[in-house]
Structure 1
């Protein structure tokens, strides 16, 4: 497949309208692995309400009361999504799906089998918006919110800090840290490998780091899963899905 220069920033996806009562796309071409986003027992709902199935592999995270879990958004339809997992999910039924651009969607878990899980959106999602994944921010890897004690070594000086979030390529730490931009440091966090990094930015007591060696998505997901649970995430906006979830008690 060749992408034109005009559309090279868009993900490669495949959209299809399934024939009623079949597992084939229009034209009779089988779509391997796309038999049902919602899972067994929900075929009737899909036939009535799911208009399109969109295949895409996009890093994302699921937010539950016990923590944040990295995953891959495997495919979506107008009423649901299927995720590829790197570990079992918590028993929560109601969760939040967050994409790389920060967009969040309330989701309800319908099934989980092996390394995949099916969810329905509690509010209908616009497929076009999901596909383009517009953002006012520069595109960046999905970050998992954490709250872990850490030590930062800068030369012969060791400083206490807290790791606030982490992605495949970097993270942010907080503390009384007399560090300068571009300074090289080593970050030590129990449960994670020792990380050589460079200071990318600083704002008040927050310092952003970029790692010299990046994580694979599945590697980081499994490491963070072993370090759960974390306190529930609470947003300031009452319309925010995480805020509503936390306020439900």
Structure 2
């Protein structure tokens, strides 16, 4: 018999604890935890965990500012203080940030191998969604081994097949399970193993920290320089269109910011060094090989090995508004 999977959310968003009760379903089950105060102990349920705090399902006589220790089911103890309390929930802010991915790893290590299954992880990550020959970028809301929730401008309906590309993973085929307004839930055709998902989430966490550090250290880019772009051609077409880039076996999402028959300027979170050999997939015309010429400030300049035909340029720009 399959164990009931927990509804606890582990979030890569570095935000303080927030109320959760209005968003949960009545039958949702969460990981068990223990909140230890100065003179009392309170069994509780862990609803949401971030690097900065936790939201607990708990009714207890606790005051804002009380010093507490949150003991998780894996034995991990986290020191913090009560940030807020309602009749049914308590928010705890940690004294020091924690490693959320490390906590998930401890949880998995405490389980038998045949019961190890990644929890739902909340994160905001660019994802390329291919459906009916059209590709658009969206943002993930959360991800698990079996699928993800996304927000996008595509009109999706239940049971539609899609292909998803997340930075650093192979393209994933899936099916829309539900859709409402700009949101949709997509189930993967094949589950992602935790051995794949765990290191990928770790890399996402590290990349976000590296990008934040780089932004703080890098000199500001002038509006004139950004408008001119990296392509040394005053006739370069400036536009905003989705693209995908493959380096080796890994795929990355990108936005086309400038284009000529010989060169393309991309905006991407991928760390691509000059000389790197890529496969660049452009909207409307498919893909082709290219070499990285220059990379700086999240922008990459690539040179096509085979120049684009005039009809290719027309196909791309004809469906996108120049900027």
Query: Which category of TM-score, normalised to the shorter sequence, fits these structures?
Result: 0.3 to 0.5
TM-score by length of 1: 0.42
TM-score by length of 2: 0.34
Bigger CA radius of gyration: 2
